[in-house]
Amino acid sequence: MQDAITKFTQSALADFRRKNFFATAKKGENFELKADLNSEYKEFRKDAVKRVIANMTVGKDVSSLFADVVKNMQTDDIELKKLVYLYLINYAKSQPELVILAVNTFVKDTDDPNPLIRALAIRTMGCLRVEEIINYLCEPLKKCLKDDNPYVRKTAAICVAKLYDLNPQLTVDNGFVSTLQEMISDSNPVVVANVIAALSEINDSSSERNIFTINRNILTKLLAALNESTEWGQICILTTLADYVPVDEKEAENIVERVIPRLQHANASVVLSAVKVFMVYINQKYITSDETIQHIIKKMTPPLVTLVSDHSEIQYVALRNINLILQMRNDILTEEIRVFFCKYNDPPYVKLEKLEVMIQLCNEKNIDQVLSEFKEYCNEVDVDFVRRSVRAIGRCAIKLDVAAERCVNVLLELISTHVNYVLQEAIVVMKDIFRKYPRSYEGVIVELCKNLESLDEPEAKASLIWIIGEYAEKIENANELLEFFMDNFKEESTMVQLQLITATVKLFLKKPSQAQNSVQNILQTATQSCDNPDIRDRAYIYWRLLSTNPQAAKSVVLAEKPPIESRTKIVSDSLLDELIANIGTLASVYYKPASLFGGRTGDIKIFSTPAEDANADIEGVPGTTIGGDENLLDLDFDDTSAPPSATPPVSAAPKSNSGSNDLLDLLNEDIPPMGSMGLSQPVTPSTNVQNDLMSILNSSNSSNNNNNNSNGGGGLMGLMSPSNSGLGNFSGIQLQPQKTVMLPASDGKGMEISAVFLKRQNKFFMDLTFTNKTTQPMSEIAIQFNKNTYGLVPMAPIGINVLPPNTSKDFSLPLGTNGPVQQMNPPTLLQIAVKNNVGVYYFQHVLPTSLFENQVSTPSTMSSFSMMMNNSNNNNNNNNNNSNNGNSNDNGLGGLLI
């Protein structure tokens, strides 16, 4: 009996285990949620919806529960209804067919007695952005726009703007825009503010730009609602007032008087919006009375000072905007410079912005105070802040002529501390001061050169090399100082190598007897051993100048350089106008056009009807200009943020006294331009033709004339003669290539790109035509190249802020050859990516091989220096005498030995 019981028990346990093994006990979390969502108990359903929202928040896919969640919409629990609406907004695009199941509930909720539920329903319907329910949205929206409760009306006003973004024609046909225009006269200021925001948004996106017009009655309503609106509403109304064009100056002054109390608001954004109104009215000349302008400036000063005393984040935003305001009007905050002195506990980003503001505010009255403060900052532990402080001293010297000497004295004190990074930054600053005040403060050169061996940063080395080359005639051992850097020429950075080549050529032109070996060695090394095309090209152009026309070489290399200007302008004037119109937004913080952030482009103006009848002349703000006007001459290290040029001989050409920008214009007319030279292949240097420059220096005038008259001479002179140019009898006229469609509109989602690659004046360009074949404007246009055989890269951003619908715009994109290199098959294949606010598009193009022809060949020997040296020999004594006389009379610095 016992055995039978045991056997039965074991058999039962085996069956139980077998069933458990094949059974699935856990059906998954979504299965459990589905069961709870369909529970008969209200608490279970609410808890299940909360868990669904939690999973959705952390990124889990719960779209399979869409139908089960929608069932819980019909409830009196407003908390549960909000959760379900939140779920619908998130998954409506992925389940557009099932959203229709919720339409009846939405329509029913818009008739609910509770205004919160009515507003919640219409807000959710506006946020779904699904084409399938747009037609069902119209009737509930009409009812909510005329609802008795202001909370429902202000929510419905914003919903109209969302509907217009989805379907503009439907919005106009149903009269929603007209209803909004009528609602500006609403008795509730909150409703008025939302209506203004909605109309402004619609007006910005409309191609007609005449949807929102203001008359005197509407203006009165706006000014009346301004005092009673919320913070957000006040910002909307102030933005609208900034875009409004007053009928006359009297109306502008009236608006300003009504806006001035907003400067006392506790919210920083409201204060900045009020400041924006004032600055726009002053900048656009709506107000011209000096008395009124001074009154406005006086009222603006205390609020701006208060913002600088707020939290560090608000301080930063305020300082960025103050910097823009000061660039436009530097008579603001002139008496409040102490407010911008850095505190020990300021974050680094706030300190750097305060430095910029202090430079803007410094003048003859407060320069001593500012210099004392900058000198104190140079003892800080933050290296970057110290460097910026040293540069600030130099910028003050360039800005104020009367304070330059005091700034130089402060820099000398900092150099005497022998702190490495302070010393190197001071040398960079002194280079700028020498450019601003040439032939002044030359006694400082001795102190600078004493620290020659302490330099290890490329910019500091390049600055000191430039100073030595520029004042080589004042320094007896200039050749020794330059040879200190030549020993490691190949290991130096590109910046230092370029400056060393130029400085050596300068020394050779000023003192041929000292630098004949140095200039030969450095030009041979640069042309034969350097892979960087910038360095090779610069050496080639100097070699050609010295070989063909020594007077042209002197005119080019030793030309009087224009003094640099003060760099107090942080943005271009055209961009400044747009940023002033967007004070208090991301555009004014990043100093970028508002269109890059999806904001207003700066050319949106709201006209009143009388102003339109009077044909008010309001121009749109043009796009950002790329690059500046300053010619950096032989200084390649002034702006480290600028990309290096692909063809230094042209971009680095100094301006002549006659104002010419082309270096080749200084040569004789019988020398053909380098761009049209058909040079032969490089010739291997001969070891038997290494002419000593001292023997060339002593050659006779007859040999010089023979060299000048010879057409078939060897070396560089024969290589570069017009007879060897390979031009024949052709005039050099070339047919202009035509643009081809590289990105069809079907592949670019409505954007078509036609382009052609060209070479003009030895520079590469990509001429583009962008065409928008859609009904919506396109923005944020950018371009990028993949790695390619020739290292081609864009040298500037696309200068098109907004591309309106059904329009085309041309842009010439400069290209450089200093990008990353990768061998392509075929070698001229170029892969391109273009981006806009819609998406990113890729295409490729095979460049014509003729684009990369006519490269300059390597000169074979230094024998062609004969003409230069012979001319130098004829005038050598006179030059030495003149140099000695100049040294003896120039600040007592004759025969300076370092």
- Residue 94: CB atoms within 10 Å: 11
**Least confident among 11-20, 346-355, 637-646, 762-771:** 637-646
Report the alpha-carbon angle 862-724-663, nearest 5.
Answer: 65
Nearest residue to 749 via CA among 691, 825, 803, 798: 803
Confidence of residue 63 (pLDDT cuts 50, 70, 90): confident
Q: How far is 287 from 293, CA to CA, in rounded Å?
A: 7
Cβ contacts of residue 382 below 8 Å, gap of 6+? 348, 351
Confidence of residue 636 (pLDDT cuts 50, 70, 90): very low
What tokens were used for 661? 């920008």
Confidence of residue 320 (pLDDT cuts 50, 70, 90): very high
814-829 pLDDT per residue, tens:
998 888 888 888 888 9
Which spans in 655-801 are helix H? Answer: 693-697, 701-709, 715-719
Mean pLDDT within 697-703: 36
Report the alpha-carbon angle 184-777-233, nearest 5.
Answer: 25
What tokens were used for 541? 């152009």
Which of 478 and 603 is assigned the larger pLDDT?
478
Mean pLDDT of the chain: 76
Per-residue pLDDT at 868 exceeds 80: no
What three-state secondary structure class fits 200? Answer: helix
Mean pLDDT within 353-369: 91
Cβ contacts of residue 532 below 8 Å, gap of 6+? 494, 497
H helix or E strand, kind and range, residue 607: strand 606-607
Q: Where are the beta strands (DSSP E) in 709-854?
A: 740-743, 751-760, 763-772, 778-779, 782-785, 793-794, 802-803, 807-816, 829-835, 840-846
Mean pLDDT within 471-481: 84
Percent of the chain with pLDDT over 70: 77
Contact by Cβ (8 Å): 109, 103: no
Say how far residue 884 (Cα) sits from the centre of its chain: 49
What three-state secondary structure class fits 827? Answer: coil
**Least confident among 124-138, 521-535, 623-637, 857-871:** 623-637
Report the alpha-carbon angle 537-542-547, nearest 5.
Answer: 125
Confidence of residue 28 (pLDDT cuts 50, 70, 90): low
Which pLDDT does position 677 carry in this prediction?
30
Which pLDDT does position 698 carry in this prediction?
38
185-211 pLDDT per residue, tens:
888 888 999 999 898 888 888 776 677
What tokens were used for 796? 């500037």
Mean pLDDT within 647-652: 33
Q: Please report the sign of the dihedral spanned by the C-alpha atoms of residue 89, residue 94, residue 100, residue 102.
A: negative
What tokens were used for 257? 């008087």
Mean pLDDT within 288-292: 89
Contact by Cβ (8 Å): 567, 395: yes
146-194 pLDDT per residue, tens:
889 999 999 999 999 988 888 888 888 888 888 988 888 888 888 999 9
Confidence of residue 755 (pLDDT cuts 50, 70, 90): very high
Which pLDDT does position 736 carry in this prediction?
60
Contact by Cβ (8 Å): 799, 810: no
Half-sphere exposure of 673 (CA within 13 A, CB side): 12
Which pLDDT does position 238 carry in this prediction?
92
Per-residue pLDDT at 341 exceeds 80: yes
Contact by Cβ (8 Å): 248, 209: no
Mean pLDDT within 91-102: 79
Q: How far is 262 from 268, CA to CA, in rounded Å?
A: 10
Contact by Cβ (8 Å): 155, 125: no
Confidence of residue 695 (pLDDT cuts 50, 70, 90): very low
Per-residue pLDDT at 628 exceeds 80: no
Q: How far is 745 from 724, CA to CA, in rounded Å?
A: 48
Which pLDDT does position 459 carry in this prediction?
92
Nearest residue to 457 via CA among 417, 499, 421: 421
Contact by Cβ (8 Å): 157, 146: no
Contact by Cβ (8 Å): 715, 544: no
CB neighbour class for 588 (10 Å; exposed up to 12, middle 13-18, buried from 19): buried
Q: How far is 160 from 66, CA to CA, in rounded Å?
A: 27
What tokens were used for 719? 């290589």
